[in-house]
């Protein structure tokens, strides 16, 4: 599990560690790790051209010391000093190693708007083998001012790869928010611990591949503010059938999805559940929808429910229920949702169920009073209806904040779908899913996810773990389905077992290294 911490926690931990180390030791550790990753991004060190964008903070110092290391090994290193001050030790080390400053000598160039960048600065950014972004550190907030904004734009358009120091300049370390210009990096080297903004869009999309450099901070850090699961973490959570298990012990999932208008939602939701692994699916719906589900998935136990009176969860034991995908928002659907929420089993609410929830104070109160696990799976538009005074654009800009707020408001687990899938649960660290592809933006993919998460709920996983595992498998299935070619939701259903096999194999490799 990759753990991330907010800036205030990182600062406290750094101060505690620095109090026991010689002055400058922590920066030297960071700079050494940064230089190693710079070397890996260069065709070779000797004779390569490296351009440093240097701000006035500590990460500017990190960049200067790393540049000095590269210059001492034969690289041609140029530093663009952009802050109102420059780390004196780092600058001295760079000069001593043969590096040079461009664009204004020892003084930074003016920060006033409209002042053009010196020509040699633009040349340094386009006639180079690597750009190192050390403009702003993790304390940066708000949009970039000049000349930082202009340098960020030039760096992002440079033909050379860009390596960001700690996080791309212009990205909020705690939230991933980008307010204006920001550097778009090919890779980011971060120190001590991951920062939430490296995993949450729009910041994550600008971070590229993220590398963690160990500077000895771990013993000073408390529990994570955000986690990003890896394959082995998912594998350890996935239920594995035991020899004595029967279909009931493996979990029975009630699915209330689909309607005459949206029959495919039922087929895809049931398929997602079956392919993720569940003992039984009990589907309830109208005659025509039920017939289509049984035709595609004959192992389904079907219940013909009158669409105007569909409050029965069905005979026999039910371990969890999924309701809402393509179901409808009429009075009968509201009655069905109420009956499901009044049950004692874990429940997943998606799509139309979320619309009904947003429009009913009594249904919202039912969710808050539930003692069984409740999982809400909105996209940004649906979440804007669940949250007062939040529009879709605001949610997409600050996904972590709004998912966490919704989890607190409803007392439920919230899986916010989108370019970054965020899972929030009251009292737990937020989780961010690392898998997936823009190809998931296709009709029906959310129905498959609901079925997969419902299956894991039915198997006994708590909502936070079920959501995290389902999102990981769903995203990985999209990556595996057609080797990067366009996919449909039906492709996702068939690729879910491939994703499950892959993560279990990852766990085996960790348990038996070298086997």
Q: Is 454 annotated as a binding residue?
A: no
* Residue 474, marked binder: no
Phi-psi region of 192 (alpha: psi -120 to 50; beta: other; left: phi over 0): left
Strands 226-228 and 2-4: antiparallel
Distance set, CA 309 to CA 292, 327, 341 (Å): 20, 13, 16
Q: Is 316 annotated as a binding residue?
A: no
Establish whether 141 is an annotated binding residue.
Answer: yes
Nearest-5° Cα angle at 495, 494 to 500: 120
Q: Is 260 annotated as a binding residue?
A: no
The 3-state DSSP class for residue 491 equals helix
Residue 419 labelled as part of a binding site? yes
Distance CA 431, CA 200 (A): 10
Any known ligand binding at 58? yes
Cis bond upstream, residue 147 (ω within 30): yes
Determine whether the annotation assigns residue 172 to a binding site.
Answer: no
Is 137 within any annotated ligand binding site? yes
CA 216/CA 204 separation, integer angstroms: 24
139 labeled part of a ligand binding site: yes
Is residue 185 within 8 Å of residue 207, measured between CB atoms?
yes
HSE-CB for 112 with a 13 A CA cutoff = 3
* 391 annotated among ligand-binding-site residues: no
Establish whether 411 is an annotated binding residue. no
Q: Is 245 annotated as a binding residue?
A: no
The answer to whether 421 is annotated as binding is yes
The answer on whether 142 is annotated among ligand-binding residues is yes
Strands 413-416 and 422-424: antiparallel
**Does residue 138 have a known ligand-binding role?**
yes
Q: How many CB atoms lie within 10 A of CB 243?
A: 4
Q: Is 55 annotated as a binding residue?
A: no
169 assigned ligand-binding residue: yes
Is 350 annotated to bind ligand? Answer: no
Element (H, E) at 352: helix 352-358
Residue 417 labelled as part of a binding site: yes
**Beta-carbon neighbour count of residue 309 at 10 Å?**
10
325 annotated among ligand-binding-site residues: no
Q: Using CA atoms, how far apart are residues 322 and 346, in angstroms rounded to an integer?
A: 9
335 is annotated as contributing to ligand binding: no
Q: Is 184 annotated as a binding residue?
A: no
In the annotated binding site for K(+), the residues are 59, 133, 169
Binding-site residues for AMP, please? Answer: 417-421, 446
Binding-site residues for (6S)-NADPHX, in ranges, read: 58-62, 137-143, 166, 265, 326, 379, 447
Q: Which residues are annotated as a binding site?
A: 58-62, 133, 137-143, 166, 169, 265, 326, 379, 417-421, 446-447
């Amino acid at each position: 599990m990759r753990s991330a911490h907010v800036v205030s926690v990182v600062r406290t931990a750094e101060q505690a560690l620095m109090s026991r180390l010689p002055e400058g030791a922590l920066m030297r550790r960071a700079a050494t790790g940064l230089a190693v990753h710079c070397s890996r991004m260069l065709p070779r060190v000797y004779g390569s051209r490296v351009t440093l964008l240097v701000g006035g903070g500590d990460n500017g110092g990190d960049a200067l010391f790393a540049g000095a290391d590269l210059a001492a090994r034969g690289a041609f290193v140029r530093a663009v000093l952009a802050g109102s001050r420059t780390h004196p030790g780092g600058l001295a080390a760079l000069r001593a190693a043969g590096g040079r400053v461009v664009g204004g000598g020892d003084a930074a160039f003016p920060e006033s708007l409209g002042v053009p960048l010196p020509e040699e600065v633009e040349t340094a950014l386009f006639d180079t083998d690597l750009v190192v972004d050390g403009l702003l550190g993790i304390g940066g907030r708000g949009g970039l001012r000049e000349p930082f904004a202009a340098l960020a734009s030039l760096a992002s358009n440079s033909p050379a790869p860009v390596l960001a120091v700690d996080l791309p300049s212009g990205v909020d370390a705690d939230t991933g928010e980008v307010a204006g210009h920001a550097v778009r990096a090919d890779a980011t080297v971060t120190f001590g611990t991951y920062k939430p903004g490296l995993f949450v869009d729009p910041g994550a999309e600008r971070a590229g591949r993220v590398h963690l450099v160990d500077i000895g901070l771990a013993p000073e850090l408390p529990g994570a503010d955000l986690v990003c699961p890896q394959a082995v973490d998912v594998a350890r959570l996935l239920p594995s059938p035991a020899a004595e298990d029967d279909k009931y012990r493996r979990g029975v999932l009630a699915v209330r999805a689909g309607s005459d208008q949206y029959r495919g939602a039922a087929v895809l939701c049931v398929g997602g559940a079956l392919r993720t692994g569940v003992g039984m699916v009990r589907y309830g719906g109208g005659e025509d929808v039920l017939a289509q589900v049984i035709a595609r998935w004959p192992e389904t136990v079907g219940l013909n429910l009158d669409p105007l009176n569909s409050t029965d969860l069905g005979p026999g034991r039910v371990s969890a229920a999924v309701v809402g995908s393509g179901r409808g928002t009429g009075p009968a659907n509201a009655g069905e949702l109420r009956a499901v929420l009044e049950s004692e089993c874990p429940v997943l609410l998606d799509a139309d169920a979320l619309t009904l929830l947003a429009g009913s104070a009594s249904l919202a109160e039912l969710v808050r009073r539930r003692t069984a696990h409740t999982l809400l799976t909105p996209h940004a538009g649906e979440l804007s209806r669940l949250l007062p005074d939040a529009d879709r654009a605001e949610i997409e800009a600050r996904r972590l904040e709004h998912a966490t707020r919704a989890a607190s408001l409803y007392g439920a687990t919230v899986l916010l779908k989108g370019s970054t899938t965020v899972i929030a649960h009251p009292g737990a660290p937020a989780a961010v899913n690392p898998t997936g592809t823009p190809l998931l933006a296709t009709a029906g993919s959310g129905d498959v996810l609901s079925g997969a998460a419902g299956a894991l709920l039915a198997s006994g996983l708590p909502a936070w773990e079920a959501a995290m595992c389902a999102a990981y498998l769903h995203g990985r299935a999209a990556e595996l389905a057609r080797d990067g070619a366009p996919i449909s939701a039906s492709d996702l259903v068939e690729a879910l077992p491939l994703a499950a096999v892959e993560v279990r194999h990852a766990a085996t490799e960790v348990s038996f290294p070298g086997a």
